Amino acid sequence: MSFGNLNIIDPLCRALAKEGYTAPTPIQTLAIPHLLNGKDLMGIAQTGTGKTAAFVLPILQKISEQHRPSPPGVPRALIIAPTRELAAQIDQSFATYGQFMRFRHTVVFGGVRQGPQVKMLSQGVDVLVATPGRLLDLMNQGYIMLRGVEFFVLDEIDRMLDMGFIKDMKRIVSALPPKHQSLFFSATMSRETGEFAEKLLTDPVRIEVTPQASTLECIKQSVFFVDQNNKFPLLQRLIVDEDMERVLIFSRTKHRADKIAEALNKSRINADAIHGNKSQNQRTKAMHDFKSGRLRVLVATDIAARGIDVDEISHVINFDLPNEPESYIHRIGRTGRAGADGKAYSFCAADERNILRSIERLIRTKVAVMEHQYHSETAKMAVGAAAESANSYRGRATARGSRQESAHKSAPRKPYPVRRR
Ligand code: AMP
């Protein structure tokens, strides 16, 4: 199968060839013909499956088939993403795949001045990528009108629902013209996601893909049983001993992410943290430094890490296991990209033991247990309830008012409920 077989037009094929993409991924093969035919789509796919190109390519193709300049503030394609990083990355994908086409695109998100965004909009854009809050803001001020939207994409719906964007999404949807093509994507399909999609899609094609087996197969997954207060010494040891090159670390809270980055810098390991409390400029700089190799380590919370698309991440380290087993797959999918080998290390303390069990059930594999000097038998044998000193590190973080970043922040951590699938 080639992109030519999917009837992708020459300017797009040239851009794909330039990027080194020789064949479409499964979601691209399955989705593109339907999308070119004008069908609505519900795609269950995670980052790493090539889902962005699966909607960017047909949208660009359809825009170029009927090219006409878009009036100021009236886009033809609207793509909504939950985070600034993801929105920026989608906008970048339009630039990359559309590099041999004539069209205008821009991205709007909060946390930065609106002036430059308003200026771009006033010149007329065909494709607008946006986070929900800033989009509504600019709509309320009259800078964006949705009456011309022909293609409407909601990316990572599950995450948007998690982040409490339901009202915003409904408001956006109510401003769309009656006739448009809707493309919805979600990493997981919950009852809430299903109900939301059901109401808004017309006779949609449903496509579900798991991350390419090869992606997960390329990742060597290991777990380190360790008490909370030994997690940092273990981390430091591993980074140095294994001479890790480009490491993405996940922490449970923003405060913890800062602490880890700070402590690594003190140990002369170049690190920075990205999370929702950082300004857009700080986040952009950290991402840029990480991509360029100036930073060896980037510490992130789940939400901030959504949309991080950096190839050649040698190691993903779960300093804390995620509350949601599905997030584990998202996280580790950041390494082992483009056929490269990757390593995913998870630190599991006693109070995270049940989360590990849920993850293993989800991925239908036992994660290999690593032997190391900080091994905690208590953590290994725990059944998920709080155990001895396991909370010391977290205790400190909580005392300073740190909270989890996701909408699950109020969820009880222990015992961890096993989700039936
Ligand atoms: P996504 O799932 O959209 O986040 O894409 C994951 C990664 O796969 C990105 O780095 C894309 O640039 C890359 N990608 C998308 N389509 C292809 C393809 N057909 N062949 C190889 N890589 C691709």
Nearest CA to ligand 1 atom 15: 50
pTM value > 0.75: no
Q: How far is the CA of 348 from the centre of ligand 1 (A)?
A: 31
Q: Which of 84, 71, 26, 39 is closest to 210 using CA atoms?
A: 26
Q: Is 50 in the pocket of ligand 1 (CB under 6 A)?
A: yes
Cα 79 to middle of ligand 1, angstroms: 18
Percent of the chain with pLDDT over 70: 87
Which residues, 6 or more positions from 285, have their beta carbon under 8 angstroms from its beta carbon?
none
Q: Give burial (CB, 10 Å; 0-12/13-18/19+) of 148.
A: middle
> Between these two residues, 247 and 195, which has the higher pLDDT value?
247
Say if residue 404's pLDDT is above 60. no
Q: Token pair of 180, please? A: 């448009």
Q: Does an H or E element contain 355, and which? A: helix 353-363
Asked if pLDDT for residue 306 goes beyond 70, the answer is: no
Tell me how far apart the 2 most distant CA atoms of the chain are, in Å.
67
Q: How does residue 152 score in pLDDT terms, banded at 50, 70 and 90?
A: very high
Q: Is 52 in the pocket of ligand 1 (CB under 6 A)?
A: yes
Tens of pLDDT, residue by residue over 16-47, are 999 888 889 889 999 999 999 999 999 998 77
Is 307 strand, coil or helix? coil
pLDDT at 281 over 70: yes
- 348 Cβ neighbours under 8 A, 6+ residues apart: 223, 224, 225, 226, 321, 355, 356, 379
pLDDT at 210: 67
pLDDT-derived band at 149 (thresholds 50, 70, 90) equals very high
Q: Which of 6, 52, 55 to mutate to test the pocket of ligand 1 (most atoms within 8 A of CB)?
A: 52
pLDDT at 398 over 80: no
Kindly list the structural domains of the chain, giving each domain's residue range(s) and its CATH number in brackets, ordered by start: 4-208 (3.40.50.300), 219-399 (3.40.50.300)
pLDDT mean across residues, the chain: 85
Distance CA 114, CA 125 (A): 16
Instruction: Decide: 47 in ligand 1 pocket, CB within 6 A.
Output: yes
Residue 96 CA: nearest ligand 1 atom is: 12
Residue 343: band (very low, low, confident or very high) from pLDDT cuts 50, 70, 90: very high
% of the chain exceeding 90 in pLDDT: 59
CA-proximal residue: ligand 1, atom 20 (nearest) = 21
Nearest CA to ligand 1 atom 11: 50
pLDDT at residue 249 greater than cutoff 80: yes
pLDDT > 60? residue 403: no
Distance between first and last Cα of the chain: 33
CA dist., res. 271 & res. 273, Å (int): 7
